[in-house]
Structure 1
Amino acid sequence: MRAKFIAGLMAIALWPSAARADWLQASSEHFVIYADDSERDVSRFSDQLERYHAALALVLRRKTATPSPSNRVTVYVVRNQRAVRQLYGEGNRYVGGFYIPRAGGSLAIVPKVDAGNGVADFSMVTLLHEYAHHFLISANSMAMPRWLSEGAAEFFASVSFDKDGGMMIGRPAQHRAAELFYAPDVKVADLLDPAEYEKRSSGSYDAFYGKSWLLYHYLTFEKARSGQLDRYLELLRDGSSMRDAGLQAFGDFDALEKELDHYLNSRRMQALKLPPDLLKIGAVQLRHLSDGEAAIMPLRIRSRRGVDAEEAKEVLDEAREVAARYPNDPAVLAELAEAEYDVGDDQEAVTAADRALAVDPSQVNAYVQKGYALFRLAAEADDKPAAYRRARAPFIALNHRENDHPLPLMYFYRSFVEQGEEPPDLAVAGLIRASELAPFDLGLRMTLATTLIRLDRQDEAKIALRPIAYNPHGGSLAGVARLMLERLESDPAWNGADMDTLLAAAQPGGDEGEEPSSP
């Protein structure tokens, strides 16, 4: 359960001042940004994020498909780190920003960013770190060891932006300097052998992030070790253990440790200079939020982050007050629908969503919340076939508006499973497509894996399971995925006959895949 916070304090923390907030939305190819800032700064911020995406695609030689509008990463910029930590909840001591990967709703919450030229400030570094994770997962179905995932994210987040549109990537991670010199040390052997790290780790803050960055940076630029990182990944793909892959690719860990010590004390380090002509991006569209949408924004951020039962009631009370002031604002009504759904008022959620759609049929969240509510109502309906047909309708309508939105594909599949019916091939194909569109959603991957096992498509199931099993932020789902992989290895024909027992052991807490970033 996330830590509780007082609604009044949260409103103060999220809202930059008592005066009317002038929220802006910046919409681009891969991002949607909500911030209370000037047009110039929000536009420049969006421009820099898009150039960063282009830099990742260029350096990693991976091109991801353009996401559907609702599958872009939404960035909510709040007042400061205190607001970020309040939203994060329990375990927030070192959190400077966080990212939640969800099909059709991935989001990042960060403090106000200085989007000026030059070296990125810490708030920007936090966001770039989170987006690097998002990009790497989207572009690569292979699960990465934790050190590699964090080291790569730190490497790519250490950037500077040039006035002419170019940038430098892979700069020294100055924000990790104090950690590397003063925090409890983490050895190369700890990074490359997770079992060794678990023995030594006290669970308190240490130099894991900084050392991961240092190793990734060294392996990227040190000519004597050219190709070793690719060899390491190849060995992991072929099934080698993390320790064995490290030994075969990098050799003696103690020798590598000494090299890293020397590298850390170097007077100069390399970085990648990328000229502007290699970082082509599309246009950024700016929109001032309506008075009603600006007023509901702090509540939208809380809802999208996720609320417990007590918080849901607080949000609903405030959402109803805002809706009373702005009864015809479709964005307000869509948020009201979400707040009603979160407290279990399903029919009220449907009513609010219908009111939003009557004013503005493009309100994506209204379709989603109406669909959620109708699905929950259908589970208790006497005439389930008719109820699930009604529940599918908002998602079908959303699919017609946005063909590559993953939620309609997911809920088309669920509409059969929840009735106890065998999903048709079309529904299974839709579930596979949804996972392709949102490979970062671990819960969706698990649903796909269990489906494939039951369909005797075990080899495909293994592919779906591995990124869950070895995701360092996979939580209880990662443990269950490892159990399932072990079962498939020992019994290749296993069709999930006792799968419910394995799944019951997961007891997912809802934050699988959630990625905090620390200062």
Structure 2
Amino acid sequence: MKLQGWVRAIGVGTALAAMAIGASARAEWWQAETAHFIVYSESKKDDAEQFARLLERYDNALRYLQGYPIPGPDMGEANKVKVFRSGDIDDIAYVAGAPGSGIAGFYIPRAGSTVAFVPAREKRRDMSSVRRSSSGPTLDTEQVLFHEYTHHFMLTNFSTAYPAWYSEGFAELYSTVEFRDDGSFVGGLVPQARGAALKQLPDVRLSRLFDHKVKLTGLEQYQSYAFGWLLSHYLNFNEERRGQLPAYLAALNKGEDSLTAAKRIFGNLDTLQAELRKYKGRNQFPVMVSPPNAVPEPAVALRQLPPAEEALMREYIRSQRGVDRKEAKDVARDLSGKGAAYPDNLKAQLIVAEAHLDARNFDEAEAAAKRALALAPDSSFANFLMGSIFLARADENKDKALYAQARPWLVKAHKLDQKDPRPMIGYYMSYREAGEPIPEDALVILESAWDYAKYDALYRLILARQLLDENKGDLARSVLSPIAFAAHGTEKENKIRATVDLIDESKIDEARAKLAEIFKEAEDRQKGRKG
């Protein structure tokens, strides 16, 4: 759900309401949960289990490659990526707001509510990572999801700022991983859907790619995915250039100019360009093959959704994708009466309460939240919803007293689940939005959310704004850098990058003002939108 206008992504239009995704009379829905994913799959039990296991194996492979523990520490249910698997590719394109595009899946990072959407009705990948269409090869579901999850993994686990070409190249490099029956996996395979672009389109000039100030053309932006893979692959596998990439990334994170650092570390860029041109002409590229049983078989907990939850899946998917004001009203209307129809199902009450909150139907939202609390007084999310209802009412009515009434619910929600970042952020925002002095415990709790929300760009902005208010420019810079360097130059100012530049120049007041512009623009976009 949306937290004071900051958590939920923008919706996609009413086309979703008419799509085939959702529950039907014969739908069979399964929930498959692993250490890092919760999959809602409209499929047979075995298929749901296999898909969830594949995703978890991918997370394990990334951990193996980085030398991290497998499966890692318990991250809490709120921080698992929820994957909605239903319909076909055409349906997913509607969900993404791009009908007819062939989009095979997409992901939305939100603190405590990260979601991904993929089709259920698609041929599973064998040893090929590509589908064929009349327009040529296109990315398959698994590769798209692997690519996006790699971004999530990077922001969650790495504190380094990456240039756009490497962020995308790194994700492409690992998205083609293939698993073998003996527990090994192969990494570094060519992304087949990029192969044609790699061979047929012109290279991106390194003097432009390495210069963050350059505004890449549309063709260069498109080609930067394939060329980013090539450059990332070459710098990772070429023995003679081993160590150059880490040195370059370290230089960027210390504030050195991107092009200057590239020339200093990589040497003559024309020479590197020629090496890459020769490299992409190879018939075979080197790959990394892990030893057998490098990736353990993940545990998967399965349950079939009961009729109450199955009946609400269509509205739940629409709500989780993100809704504007009209769509929120539509979803709430479609759920009208369903809360009372399923009084004994906690999940149903939470879905109904969240949808009515998005629609600003506060009385209906509170009634459903109270039903949820009657069923499960120790439900962290139910307590968080009650606190959020008061936050939203306070925002709607400009009533400071309501912010105070929200806090006990948010505090209880946090005590019940100390790994869910939403109550932490909500508690801090209850003071910020009220215009009251922010107490020490609220500041501490905002920073404590870092371990569970660093993949959310909006959370990073909120934290950086607070750090700048405390004159902690260096810390604010470290928070902003990973999202500031992710975009190349465009016609529109990169205000996050501009904020980082101002911090580097010790212009903290100007950095605060620039960050305030970012929040003002976000607020303006949110006008007329909820969820």
- Cα distance in 1 between the residues matched to 2:522 and 2:429: 20
Change (3 A) 1:450 1:497: closer
2:299 counterpart (272, 283, 287): 283
**1:231 deviation in Å?**
1.7
Amino acid at match of 1:374: F
Aligned equivalents of 1:477, 1:297: Cα separation in 2: 39
Alpha-carbon distance change, 382 to 132 in structure 1, aligned in 2, over 3 angstroms? closer
**Structure 1 residue 448: deviation in Å?**
1.1
Counterpart for residue 463 of structure 1: 478
Between 139-148 and 492-501, report the one with greater CA deviation: 492-501
Residue 59 of structure 2 corresponds to 53
State the match for 2:107 in structure 1: 99
The counterpart of 2:18, out of the listed 9, 19, 38, is 9
Contact 1:118 1:162 in 2 (8 A): no
2:268 to 244, 252, 258: 252
* Alpha carbons of structure 1 residues 182 and 84: separation in structure 2 relative to 1, 3 Å: farther
Distance verdict in 2 for CA 1:275–1:48, change over 3 Å:
farther
Q: Are the equivalent residues in 2 in contact too, given 1:151–1:216 (CA < 8 A)?
A: yes
Work out whether residues 114 and 124 of structure 1, in 8 Å CA contact, stay in contact via their aligned partners in 2. no
CA deviation profile, 1:409-460 (whole Å, cap 9, x unmatched): 1112122222322212221111111123211111111111111121222222
Q: Once the 2 structures are TM-superposed, how far is the Cα of residue 306 of structure 1 from its aligned partner?
A: 0.6
Would you say 1:348 and 2:368 are equivalent positions? no
Does residue 75 of the first structure (1) align with residue 75 of the second (2)?
A: no
Q: Is the 8 A contact 1:68 1:405 kept in 2?
A: yes
| Counterpart code for 1:212 | G
Residue 237, structure 1, aligned to residue 246, structure 2 = no
2:529 match: none
5+ residue gaps, structure 1, are: 512-519
Matched residue, 1:212? 228
Cα distance, 1:508 vs structure 2: 6.0
How far has the Cα of 1:506 moved from its partner?
3.9
Query: Are the structure 2 counterparts of residues 38 and 172 from structure 1 closer, same or farther at C-alpha, using a change threshold of 3 Å?
Result: same
In 2, Cα distance between the equivalents of 1:424 and 1:340?
Answer: 31
TM-score normalised over the length of structure 1? 0.88
Given candidates 404, 407, 410, the residue that maps to 1:392 is 407
Question: Which deviates more, 427-436 or 56-65?
Answer: 56-65
- The verdict on how the C-alpha distance between 1:40 and 1:165 changes in structure 2, with shifts beyond 3 A counting, is farther
Between 1:61-70 and 1:436-445, the stretch displaced more is 61-70
Contact 2:90-2:102 at 8 Å conserved across structures: no
Whole-angstrom CA distance in 1 between matches of 2:194 and 2:218? 20
Counterpart-to-counterpart distance in 2, 1:321 and 1:276: 54
Summarize the Cα distance change of 1:60–1:245 in structure 2 as closer, same or farther, 3 Å threshold.
farther
Residues 90, 171 of structure 1: CA spacing in aligned structure 2 closer, same or farther, 3 A cutoff? closer
Alpha-carbon distance between aligned partners in 1 of 2:490 and 2:211, rounded to the nearest angstrom: 19
**Contact in 2 for aligned 1:155/1:170 (Cα 8 Å):** yes
- TM-superposed CA distance for 1:25, in Å, is 0.8
Name the residue aligned to 1:516: none
Written as runs of structure 1 = structure 2, the 5 A alignment for 1:49-448 is: 49-62=55-68, 65-89=73-97, 93=101, 95-112=103-120, 118-120=127-129, 122-183=140-201, 185-196=203-214, 198-199=215-216, 201-202=217-218, 206-280=222-296, 282-320=298-336, 322-323=338-339, 325-361=341-377, 365-379=381-395, 384-385=400-401, 387-448=402-463
Unpaired stretches in structure 2, ≥5 consecutive residues: 1-9, 131-139, 527-531
Give 3-state SS (helix, strand or coil) of 2:449's partner. helix
Q: Displacement, 1:309?
A: 1.7
Cα distance, 1:156–1:499 mapped onto 2, change above 3 Å = closer
Deviations 1:41-70 (A, max 9, x none): 222222222221121112123456542211
Letter in 2 for 1:239: G
Structure 2-normalised TM-score? 0.86
The aligned residue for residue 27 of structure 1 is 33
Instruction: Choose 314-323 or 121-130, whichever is displaced more.
Output: 314-323
Say if 1:473 and 1:282 are closer, same or farther in 2 by CA, change over 3 A: farther
Separation in structure 1 between the aligned mates of residue 398 and residue 236 of structure 2, nearest angstrom: 61
Contact 1:334–1:363 (8 Å) recurs in 2: no
How far residue 349 of structure 1 moved from its aligned partner, in angstroms, is: 0.8
Q: CA deviation at 1:498?
A: 5.0
Query: How far apart in 2 are the matches of 1:402 and 1:96?
Result: 34
Relative to structure 1, is the Cα distance of residues 378 and 508 closer, same or farther in structure 2, using a 3 angstrom cutoff? closer
Aligned residues: 505
**Root-mean-square deviation (CA), in Å?**
3.0
Contact 2:129 2:176 in 1 (8 A): yes
Using the alignment, how far apart are the partners of 1:210 and 1:496 within structure 2?
35
Query: What amino acid does structure 2 have at the position aligned with 1:21?
Result: A
Q: Which amino acid aligns with 1:430?
A: I
Identity fraction in percent: 31
Q: Is the 8 A contact 2:161 2:485 kept in 1?
A: yes
- Of 261-270 and 140-149, deviating more is 261-270
Corresponding residue for 2:135? none
**CA distance, structure 1, for counterparts of residue 398 and residue 246 of structure 2:** 57
CA contact (8 A) 1:62 1:139 kept: no
Aligned partners of 2:64, 2:221: CA distance in 1, in Å?
Answer: 33
CA contact (8 A) 1:439 1:445 kept: yes
Q: Secondary structure at the match of 1:246?
A: helix
User: Residue 11 of structure 2 contacts residue 321 of structure 2 at CA under 8 Å; is this kept in 1?
Assistant: no
User: What is the identity, as a one-letter code, of the residue corresponding to 2:274?
Assistant: K
Q: Give the superposition deviation at 1:133.
A: 0.5
Match of 1:43 among 43, 49, 69: 49
* Alignment correspondent of 1:480: 495
- 1:56 counterpart letter in structure 2: L
Paired letter, 2:66: L
Taking a change above 3 Å as real, the CA distance of residues 3 and 115 of structure 1, as seen in their structure-2 partners, is closer
Question: Aligned-pair distance for 1:80?
Answer: 1.9
Residues in 1 aligned to 2:355 and 2:493: alpha-carbon distance in whole angstroms: 30
CA contact 1:44–1:115 (8 Å) conserved in 2: no
Moved more, 145-154 or 432-441: 432-441
Aligned residue identity for 1:34:
Y
Q: CA deviation at 1:119?
A: 4.6
